[in-house]
Amino acid sequence: MKNLFFLLLVISGLQVFSQQASFSGDSEPRLVFNQGDFGERFAVLADYDREYNYFVTDLTKMPSRFQRVYFLNLVFADQQVISLDSDLSKDQLWFKVPSALTEQEAVCKFDDLRAEAMKAENGMTENERQQWLAGHDKFPKSNH
């Protein structure tokens, strides 16, 4: 009985360690990023593994719901950027990009998608934006 208890204690200790440890190259990205570390950047490389680079984007730089929805729709249409989250009420969204794309290429892609969303918003009237959102905003809305 004591041996079984000791074995369970060792296994639970290993599980706790493996859940808390996060190193570059792990198969799971660390999904914690300090909002203040963005500076002027919209997208930042936060982690990587053999197949993907994991980027976090600063949604506070896209203040309107229209911009965020338009941006995420562009991402879903893109063949290289994969969304890991679609909660547009957050300050950050996570994405993965194949490691074949360099960090600079990926950051430029995110910046271009953001610019396209801002251009679309500026090119529409408020009524046109509302109509567009009615047909394209499939994302959960925050209850805050």
| Interval 91-111: pLDDT, tens | 889 999 999 999 999 999 999
**Structure tokens given for 31:** 């999904």
Q: How far apart are CA 84 and CA 55, in angstroms?
A: 10
For the chain, the maximum distance between any two Cα atoms, rounded to a whole number of angstroms, is 73
Mean pLDDT of the chain: 79
CA distances from 107 to 14, 81, 103, 111 (A): 37, 11, 6, 6
> Rounded to two decimals, what is the model's pTM?
0.73
**Structure tokens given for 106:** 């990926």
What's the fold here for domain 34-136?
Gyrase A; domain 2 (3.30.1360)
Which residues make beta-bridge pairs with 56? 44, 94
Reference 29, options 5, 9, 53; nearest CA is: 53
Tell me the average pLDDT across 26-41: 63
Tell me the average pLDDT across 34-45: 78
Place of tokens 């953001």: 114
